[in-house]
Chains A and B, each alone.
Chain A
Amino acid sequence: MSSRVGVLAIQGDYACHMQVFAGLGAEVNEVRTPEDLAQVDRLVIPGGESSTVGKLLERYGTGAAIRERAAAGMPIWGTCMGMIMLAKRIENRTQYALELLDITVRRNAFGAQVHSFETEVPIAGWEEPLTAVFIRAPIVTEIGANVEVLARYEDKIVAVREGKLLGTSFHPELTDDTRLAAEFLTY
C-alpha cells in the first residue's frame, strides 16, 4: 500500500493535516491542480470555506480530476468543509460539490463561531473516544444504504464512511490525536 498523501491546499487548515500525516511517516504533498493530484495516492480535503473552495475546484478542473480518481478507487477523507465537498446533497443550497459520498449535509448546523465547541465522541469500533473540535461545523442529516455511521453527537451524525470515502464534521487535525489519520492510511 502506498502512502503518498495529498492535501487539498486551495484554502483552509491544510497545513495542520500535512503536519499530522508527516508525523505518521507518510509522504505528503500539497494539491491544487489536476497535475498535483496525479502525484498522490490518497487525498485529504481539509476544513475551510466550502463555497470558496468549491468554485475554485470547478474553475481549475481539480474537482473533475478528483471525481475521476475517486471512481478509480482513490481514498478521500473530508473534514468539515471537506465532508461538505464530498456530499451528494447539501441542504438549502446550490453550490459546487464533488457529489461522491451518499449523504445529505446541513452546513453550519450549530450556528456562528460563538457556538463552536469541543467534546469527546465515541467512534464505532474504538475503545477510547476521540476529542472532536467542531468549528462552524456541518452535520449529516440523511445517509444512503451503503453508508456506515462512525460517530454521533447528541443523536446527530458527525462521522461517516462509504467504501474508501471518510467524512467527519469535526477536526482531529487540530488535536494531538492522530488515530483517525492513521486509520485513513489503511483505506
Chain B
Amino acid sequence: MSNNGVVNAAKTWREKVGLAEMLKGGVIMDVTTPEQARIAEDAQAVAVMALERVPADIRRDGGVARMSDPEMILAIKEAVDIPVMAKCRIGHFVEAEILQALEVDFVDESEVLTPADEENHVDKHAFTVPFVCGARNLGEALRRCGEGAAMIRTKGEAGTGDVVHAVWHMRTIMKEIRQVQAAREDELFKLAKDHQAPLELIREVHRTGKLPVPNFSAGGIATPADAALMMKLGAETVFVGSGIFKSGDPARRAQAIVDSVVFYNDAKKLAEISKNLGEPMVGINISSLKPEDQLATRGW
C-alpha cells in the first residue's frame, strides 16, 4: 500500500515489529470457532490465534497437523475486530502465502503443526505479513529473527498445561542474553559461533540487552499465576492455547489471565484474580511424554 506498492524492507520491518509492540502486555488466545473468538475478545484478548484444533487435541489425535481451513479463518476474522493470527507449518511457505492472501494479521510458523521442511524455515523477509516463531534458546531466537521473524515466543510444550518448558526456555533465553551483554566486544565472534546466530544480531543483543523483536511466551500456560510467572521471567506478553477453552469456565479464566498479565507484579491483586476460576485444563506432565511426542524439538 505504501510508496505506491514498492516494498521498502526497512519500512515494512518497522511496521511488522510495530504490530508486535502494540500486542505487548496483552494475551493472545487460541480459538477454533467464531463463538470462541468472540468470548476471547469479550474477555479482552489482544489477538486470537485461529486454528482448527487446539494443541491439546492435535496431541491427542495424532496424524499430520496442517494449516487451518481458510473458510474457518475468514469466519473468525469476520467475528472480531482484534488482530487474527494463524499457523503455518515450519518451512511451508505456500501455506504462509495463503495466510497472507487471507490477510491474517500475523503468521505463526509453528512447531505445533507437523513440519514441512526439516532444514529450512520460511524466508520471512519475503512477506509483508509479520511472523512469530518459537524458540528454546537465544541462538534459535536470533536465527528466526535473521530469517525475518517480527516476534519470538518461547516454545514451551504446547497442549500440556505444564508450564515447565516455557519457564526453561524463557530462563535460557534471558540468561544467554545477559551473557552476551556482559561479554567483551572481541568475544562476540565466538558467541555468534557458539549460538549459531548471525553476528550482527549478537552485536545488537550485546548493545541493547534484549532480543531485536518483542519476546513473548507460550506453551503450557494454564493459570493466571502461570502467566504472571512468565511475565516476571521476562516475557512481554503470553499466548494461551489449550489452557482457556479446555478449562471449566473459559470466559472467566480468559479474563483472569488478561488481568494477571496487567498486574503480574501485584501479588495481592493476583490472589483476587485467581479466586474461583473453576476447573483448569487437566494437563499432562511433560516428564511423562516420550521424547518423540515433544513438539518443542521441532524446528532448528
Q: Chain A: residues with CB nearer than 8 A to chain B?
A: 9-16, 32, 47-49, 51-52, 55-56, 80-81, 93, 107-108, 110-119, 133, 135-136, 171, 174-175
Contact = CB atoms under 8 A, between A and B. Distances in A.
A12 B25 contact: yes
Interface of B: 1-3, 8, 11, 14-15, 18-19, 21-26, 41, 44-47, 77, 81-83, 100, 103-106, 128-130, 258-259, 262-263
Contacts of A13: 18, 21-22, 24
B44 A56 contact: yes
A9 B2 contact: no
B46 to A, nearest CB: 5
Contact of A49 (B1, B46, B100, B129): B46
B22 A133 contact: no
B224 to A, nearest CB: 14
B74 to A, nearest CB: 11
Contacts of A174: 14, 18, 21
Nearest to B128: A114
A51 B26 contact: no
Contact of B263 (A32, A119, A136, A171): A32
Contact of B262 (A56, A80, A110, A114): A56
Nearest to A93: B81
B25 A9 contact: yes
Nearest to B17: A174
B81 A113 contact: no
A51 B21 contact: no
Interface centre among A13, A108, A115, A119 (most CB of B within 10 A): A13
A108 B77 CA distance: 13
A112 B45 contact: no
Given A11-B24, A49-B22, A113 B83 contact: yes
Contacts of B3: 117, 119
Given A9-B25, A136-B83, A52 B45 contact: yes
A111 B2 CA distance: 13
A117 B2 contact: yes
Contacts of A117: 1-3, 11, 15
Q: Which 10 A-B residue pairs are closest in the complex by CB-CB distance? A: A117-B2, A13-B21, A113-B105, A112-B103, A11-B25, A52-B44, A116-B15, A118-B11, A11-B26, A49-B46
Given A51-B44, A55-B44, A112-B103, A118 B25 contact: no
Nearest to B15: A116
A116 B83 CA distance: 12
A85 to B, nearest CB: 14
A45 B18 CA distance: 16
A67 B299 CA distance: 49
A16 B22 CA distance: 10
B157 to A, nearest CB: 26
Given A51-B82, A116-B1, A136-B22, 9 more contacts: A14-B24, A16-B21, A51-B81, A52-B46, A107-B81, A113-B105, A113-B106, A118-B11, A118-B15
B15 A133 contact: yes
A11 B15 contact: no
B148 to A, nearest CB: 15
A110 B26 CA distance: 23
Nearest to B10: A118
Nearest to B11: A118
Contact of A47 (B1, B21, B41, B104): B21
Contact of B22 (A9, A10, A48): A48
Nearest to A92: B81
B25 to A, nearest CB: 4
Contacts of A112: 77, 103-105
Nearest to B236: A15
A26 B128 CA distance: 36
Contacts of A10: 25, 262
